[in-house]
Chain A
Amino acid sequence: MITITHFLVVSAVIFCIGLYAVLAKRNAIMILVGIELMINASILNFVAFSRYDKVNYGGQVFALFAIVLAAAAVAVGLAIILNVYKYYKTINPANINELKD
């Protein structure tokens, strides 16, 4: 029997790996990847709890919403990254230290 604890532990590990990527990476794309990992971890939580909600299907519905939001976020985020790259010629967030044009 796969209990909910299994899902939660795996989700926690994935989330923390994503967190590490967000904190440590020197590449905007990799940070975005870390965010995707964290979103995936939360989606896993959604669907894991959703098993016990047959009436509303809330978990699965919001998992789908989350996927859509993540896709939109990635689209906008990548657009910004490309714009930044065009201006700074780098995607390392440490080097992006000016707000002015």
Chain B
Amino acid sequence: MLELLNISPITASLLVVLLPFVAFLIQAAFGRRSISGNIGLIAIILSTILSAICVFFVVWNGENATQRITWFTIGTKSFSVGILLNKLTVSMQLLVCIIALPVHFYSRAYMKGDDGLHRYWMYLSLFCFAMLGLTVSINLLQLYIFWELVGFASYLLIGFWFTRDAAVQANKKAFLINRIGDLGFLIGIALVYAQVGTLDLVELFGKSGWFLNDTTANITLQEINKDSAWLTFAGLAFFLGAMAKSAQFPLHVWLPDAMEGPTSVSSLIHAATMVAAGVFLLCTVFPLFNETVLLVIAIVGTITAFSAAIFALGQYDIKKILAFSTISQLGFMMVGVGIGAWDTAMLHLATHAFFKCLLFLCAGAVIHEMSHFKTHARLDFDPQDLRNMGGLRHYMPKTFVCMVIGALALSGFPLTSGYLSKDSIVVSAFEWASLHGNFYLAIPVTLIVVSLMTAFYIGRLIFKTFFGSFSFKQHTSTAHSLHEAPGMMIWPMLFLAACSLFPIFGLQPLTYQQTWLIQGFQVVLSYPVIHTAHLFIPVGLTIGAILAWVLGWQWYVKQKYPLHANNRWVRFSNRQGYLNEVNDVLFVKGTQRLSAALYAFDRYVVDGATKLVTWTMQQVAVVAYWFDKNIVDGIVNFSANTTYYIGHLARHVQNGQLQGYLGFALTVVILGILYLIIK
């Protein structure tokens, strides 16, 4: 153990990144023989231990570390790849490891018996490699490469059950929308490179890689006018990249569909880690953003949080609710970045990763048992539909407890981690808005409303799933009854449930400033602290959340549901605000119409033009033939004849006649004399 501790953080971090990759290669080589997933599991366990002991604790308490090697050189510019270890990157890396570890354990039970299990482990290792590499990249280009790898692994995992049409459609959709974001990211990289001349994070942002107020920051970046147009464009481009990856409002449509993948994948990739990569990117390049970009980020984040919360209200699919709640919480993080308090965004990212992963795993356990029950009882229903559940707390008490803890954390009840992080964002947003005044206040107000809605819809999910009476109670028997999930699934859930409580993040259960994550980042805020806000907003939010749960209890458990199931608003929410339909009409149908119009255009205008051009070309060809025959050939023949004639003349020089030679010699003499005279 002592020798292990002596490994430098850089080497350890490299091992953390490379171990899953080695696992991926081995599993790819073994093919079907590696269905147990032991290789990937061992790799991620080692990665987690290394990341925690040799990287995180060393770097968090000590100095930052960087290591880079030159990758290639173009002209005088050389690109380097390397590892950047600072508090942000090591905490992100550790977070990814810690989330990935229980998911790996969980997957062993959850994915048991699947046909393509070897592919599953391979992809999962690939994803871990890419995600861990993304966190510690020193270079924006390197970051982009891992970013793409992450997207690719996500694509593979969403379409894991590729025989299902919906899965194929979903991964195609995710891939296409992420492409929009990647384009933005690439444009951002190009802009930064063109203007600053480097993509190295340390060269860009100073020694620690993310502090703008660091005096060692790059001179060029300090001299840049923060309001210059290119900076705004670059910031918006980076944000576009983050928008696609982190599923922000117009580009969020891929995430609900991505739930077609295995639930364990959803919990790891589409709830905890990959979608947080966008937030992580924004935190990394935070010094690049100026006021305009930050405002755009805040507004988009608010819209996302609000719209996704509304959509979550009307869903019946248990995973879709969680997906929308993920989008909503990512919106919160974006607001955190947008108001400049990116430390709160990172805090929320970390807490959210735990409780959302927990929620997904619990949902996975429920779905798992529901589908088992479905197979055994020979029934035909959707195992993910809330309306088919109810009263499950009698059958799955441990899952119930875990999920309630996750739900409470999501709602922001005190003593949970969610309380700390969510309140930190809302309070910061309020302080920020009160500094700017007027319309800015709409953002914290919206966030409060969204918080209450969050509490309501997650309460709805809990009540609908675990309370009331089971829809298929008459089918349960001793032979095929619902029962608790296997231990391999329960233990990761319990671990995550423990992590969703406040002690993991800070010993003070009620004030977020005391969490070690916030204290570690030491962000200098641009707005004054309002102490009353720190008191009233958390209290108000807690009371509001309790009220929302009570309302949910009244509606769903006491069966006092006031609205009709086919209410317009419910339908609007259920159909995700018809956004997919709008997209369908706007982009798909539009594209089809455009294609039809283009076809017609092609058929008549282009073809007509082509025919006209053809006819013209024929006429031109005739003229050209004449021209060729008479002028071009004429020129050629003329030059040939001229050459021949000159040769004919020159032939006379070599005529064997003394007088000719003499004349020739004299000509040269005259030319020489003339040269001397003129010179």
Contacts and interface: CB of A to CB of B under 8 A. Distances in A.
Interface of A: 19, 22-24, 31, 93-94, 97
Counting chain B CB atoms within 10 Å of each CB, the highest count among A19, A23, A24 belongs to A23
B659 A93 contact: yes
B656 A97 contact: yes
Contacts of A97: 656
Interface in B603-659: 656-659
B666 interface: yes
A93 B658 contact: yes
A24 B659 CA distance: 7
B663 interface: yes
B673 interface: no
Interface in B188-213: none
A70 B463 CA distance: 139
A23 B663 CA distance: 6
Contacts of B658: 93
A94 B652 CA distance: 12
13 contacts: A19-B666, A22-B659, A23-B659, A23-B662, A23-B663, A23-B666, A24-B659, A93-B657, A93-B658, A93-B659, A94-B657, A94-B659, A97-B656
A86 to B, nearest CB: 20
Closest A-B pairs by Cβ, 6 of them: A23-B663, A23-B659, A97-B656, A94-B657, A93-B658, A23-B662
Nearest to B655: A94
Counting chain A CB atoms within 10 Å of each CB, the highest count among B657, B659, B663, B666 belongs to B659
Contacts, number: 15
Contacts of B656: 97
A46 B601 CA distance: 96
A97 B658 CA distance: 10
A15 to B, nearest CB: 12
A64 to B, nearest CB: 27
Nearest to A31: B659
Given A23-B659, A94-B659, 13 more contacts: A19-B666, A22-B659, A22-B662, A23-B662, A23-B663, A23-B666, A24-B659, A31-B659, A93-B657, A93-B658, A93-B659, A94-B657, A97-B656
Nearest to A25: B659
Nearest to B663: A23
A2 to B, nearest CB: 27
Contacts of A94: 657, 659
Nearest to A19: B666
Contacts of A23: 659, 662-663, 666
Nearest to A97: B656
Contacts of B659: 22-24, 31, 93-94
Contacts of A31: 659
A97 B657 CA distance: 8
Interface in B283-322: none
Interface string B656-676: 111100110010000000000
A93 B662 CA distance: 13
Contacts of B657: 93-94
A22 B657 CA distance: 12
B659 to A, nearest CB: 5
Contacts of B666: 19, 23
A40 B658 CA distance: 22
A94 B666 CA distance: 19
Contacts of A24: 659
A23 B658 CA distance: 9
A61 B662 CA distance: 30
A37 to B, nearest CB: 15
A31 B663 CA distance: 13
A24 B663 CA distance: 9
A53 B657 CA distance: 42
A22 B659 CA distance: 7
A24 B662 CA distance: 11
A15 B666 CA distance: 13
Contacts of B663: 23
Nearest to A28: B658
A19 B657 CA distance: 16
Nearest to A94: B657
A19 B446 CA distance: 113
A99 B658 CA distance: 13
A24 to B, nearest CB: 8
A7 to B, nearest CB: 21
B516 to A, nearest CB: 110
A94 B660 CA distance: 10
A31 B657 CA distance: 13
A19 B663 CA distance: 9
Interface string B45-75: 0000000000000000000000000000000
A23 B665 CA distance: 11
Contacts of A19: 666
Contacts of B662: 22-23
A76 to B, nearest CB: 16
Nearest to B656: A97
A77 to B, nearest CB: 13
Nearest to A24: B659
B664 to A, nearest CB: 10
A93 B656 CA distance: 10
A97 B663 CA distance: 18
Nearest to A95: B657
B661 to A, nearest CB: 10
A22 B666 CA distance: 12
A22 B658 CA distance: 10
A7 B663 CA distance: 26
Nearest to B657: A94
